[in-house]
Structure 1
Amino acid sequence: MRVVMFGYQTWGHRTLKALLDSEHDVVMVVTHPQSEHAYEKIWSDSVAELAEEHGVPVVIRNRPDDDELFQRLKEADPDIIVANNWRTWIPPHIYTLPRHGTLNVHDSLLPKYAGFSPLIWALINGESEVGVTAHMMDEVLDAGDIVRQEAITVGPTDTATDLFHKTVDLIAPVTIGALDLIAAGQTEFAKQDRTQASFFHKRAEEDIRINWDWPADVLARLVRAQSAPYPAAFTFHRGKRLEVLSAVVSEGVYGGTPGRIFYREGEGVAIVAGADARTGRNHGLAITRVRTEDGRELPATEYFKSMGGYLTDRP
């Protein structure tokens, strides 16, 4: 089939590579301009450069809603558009233009975790599986019929970085597998159960601030979800920002006030956690490694010279 690809960053790059390696003919690529946004500089392999290396025409757009782009798309005469990590709304006259419509590739197990940063949100929420879904685009974001979907298990110590590397390897088989079904004439696909749908916003600074009222297991997953190269989860100690690079749920149960620097446990320092910590039934968050405001990384047992005092969500 003749394919136009809409995509950006490493997800789009992997999608384009899979298309170029397939029997399908990539006739045009549409991608975003390079961004200075913190999250968009992560996993930022260039779709434009890969397309140019293979002699594929490239169009750069923030939004795909101008007449010039529409005319170029009509001239390209695609059988299908394939989109992955396109960051702005694609209007109906664009996604319905090809004879087979538009296939969107999304890094979650839809209908759950539509929208942005699905792997990070899924890890924070303790999901047992994550994956990649190829679905037909319609008027509701990430809500169209599912053509193909594959899942991987979330391990007990997996970070968001680990899950990125595992799911990005699913892009090629999911995308090409879906295209092969469409090329073979299949037109009926699985409807999404909209009662199970969830929709998440982009990650921002506020979303990595540690709230000590959260249970320790959720905080431990937040720390894993904000693994390098993502910006680390942070708290404040004595008015200065302190990034938490690694942490686990404590073995012991600690009662008192959330955020209290309480007890040395193994290789970590246990912090009281949970809104109901006063009951004395909660495990704490055992912080094992931190980074200070001036960039020093060190074990928590070296940073916390003595017990007592509090970690807070504000200076």
Structure 2
Amino acid sequence: MNKPTAIVFAYHSVGVRGIKSLLASGVEIKLVVSHEDNPHETIWFESVADLCAEHGIKRVTPDNPNLSEFVAELRSYVPDYIFSFYYRNMLCEEILNIPSRGAYNLHGSLLPKYRGRVPVNWAVLHGETETGATLHEMTVKPDAGAIIGQVAVPILPDDTAFEVFGKLTVASEQVLATVLPGILAGAPNRIHNDLSKGSYFGGRKPEDGRIDWAKPAQNVYNLHRAVAPPYPGAFFEHNGERFIIEKARFSGQNAAEIALNLPQGISVVDNVVFGVCGDGKAIKILALQHNSKTLSIDEVRNYFA
């Protein structure tokens, strides 16, 4: 019996785990379409390129996968399936129509919630207490096809997006282990993806990490968690210089409980750095960066005296 075949669009740790899951299920991967690493991006995740080299899988990195010449090349592989695991470009209808047995995408949220870009970061920013991994049928409209399977993971109060992404990588393996047998048997379980109960979000830029100290402390803390290193980080400017919060905790204290009449922004009290917010509460800043260096308490005191 011939092995099922697939073209896989993949990047990031989820891409690596997705490819490994397909190989473990006996799928022959004819081609992997991926991205070149961006030299301006912190690469903290696993390498699809390294995995393909290990297994002798052909890998290509087109700037635009939807050009007619490349679509024709994809068609020549005659795959049974297409899978997309954290590939960053939308795929055109012509590509989605190539596989004879379906096209599937793995998305980092509990669809229909948080459709679109960087769903983990948005979920943390909005203070969600859970998210998850969803495998769904691909359509031209992003993250809109029928849901094949989902696995939920908790978001703890102090989890950063980086920590949640680690949980999501495991959840991705779990959902694929659950649904791949049905997909490969030609009988996937389809659940309606009711978009009216969900939400769509766009991408985020480093500038979106700018802190507004006039906002409530919980909002500021959630922003920090959503973009904490290795992401670009939540930042603010003081006397024309930029500072990035490397590590923090939500103290829940009112400024009056720390010291009287603290202004919004950074204050140092008894060798503890606080960020006082618009609701009078504060976050406790455990590590503060300036010019890519973690500042000592004395250096923080000198900057914010």
RMSD over aligned Cα atoms = 2.4
Q: Please state if 1:4 is matched with 2:2.
A: no
The residue aligned with 2:283 is 285
The residue aligned with 2:272 is 268
> Per-residue deviation at 1:300?
5.0
The residue aligned with 2:295 is 298
Per-residue CA deviation, residues 208-235 of structure 1 (Å, 9 max, x unaligned), is 1111122101211222222221122111
User: Partner amino acid for 2:9?
Assistant: F
The residue aligned with 2:94 is 93
User: Distance in 2 between the 1:102 and 1:213 partners?
Assistant: 46
TM-score by length of 1: 0.85
Look up the SS of the partner of 1:120 in the other structure.
helix
The residue aligned with 2:198 is 197
Unaligned runs of 5+ in 2: none
User: Distance in 1 between the 2:248 and 2:9 partners?
Assistant: 38
User: Distance in 2 between the 1:261 and 1:58 partners?
Assistant: 48
The answer to whether the Cα contact below 8 Å between 1:124 and 1:225 also exists between their aligned partners in 2 is yes
User: Partner amino acid for 2:276?
Assistant: V
User: Distance in 2 between the 1:300 and 1:209 partners?
Assistant: 22
User: Distance in 1 between the 2:105 and 2:303 partners?
Assistant: 53
User: Partner amino acid for 2:247?
Assistant: S
The residue aligned with 1:14 is 17
After superposing the two structures, state which structure 1 stretch, 96-105 or 6-15, moved more.
6-15
User: Distance in 2 between the 1:300 and 1:72 partners?
Assistant: 58
The answer to whether the Cα contact below 8 Å between 1:287 and 1:300 also exists between their aligned partners in 2 is no
> Per-residue deviation at 1:248?
2.4
Per-residue CA deviation, residues 250-297 of structure 1 (Å, 9 max, x unaligned), is 3432377973445627x63333312xx4xxxx422232321123x331
The residue aligned with 2:164 is 163
The residue aligned with 2:186 is 185
After superposing the two structures, state which structure 1 stretch, 147-156 or 59-68, moved more.
59-68
Look up the SS of the partner of 1:45 in the other structure.
coil
Q: Please state if 1:66 is matched with 2:84.
A: no
The residue aligned with 2:219 is 218
User: Partner amino acid for 1:19?
Assistant: L
Note closer, same or farther for the CA distance 1:64–1:157 as it changes in structure 2 (3 Å cut).
Answer: same
User: Partner amino acid for 1:264?
Assistant: V
Q: Give the number of aligned pairs.
A: 298
**Among residues 24, 36, 41, which one is paired with 1:33 in the alignment?**
36
The answer to whether the Cα contact below 8 Å between 2:158 and 2:249 also exists between their aligned partners in 1 is no
Q: Percent identity between the aligned chains?
A: 34
User: Distance in 1 between the 2:59 and 2:236 partners?
Assistant: 43
> Per-residue deviation at 1:98?
0.9
> Per-residue deviation at 1:302?
5.7
User: Distance in 2 between the 1:193 and 1:106 partners?
Assistant: 15
Note closer, same or farther for the CA distance 1:181–1:49 as it changes in structure 2 (3 Å cut).
Answer: same
User: Distance in 2 between the 1:192 and 1:209 partners?
Assistant: 34
TM-score by length of 2: 0.88
User: Distance in 2 between the 1:92 and 1:184 partners?
Assistant: 24
The answer to whether the Cα contact below 8 Å between 1:226 and 1:232 also exists between their aligned partners in 2 is yes
Look up the SS of the partner of 1:166 in the other structure.
helix
> Per-residue deviation at 1:188?
5.2
> Per-residue deviation at 1:20?
1.9
User: Distance in 2 between the 1:258 and 1:252 partners?
Assistant: 14
The residue aligned with 2:150 is 149
> Per-residue deviation at 1:114?
1.6
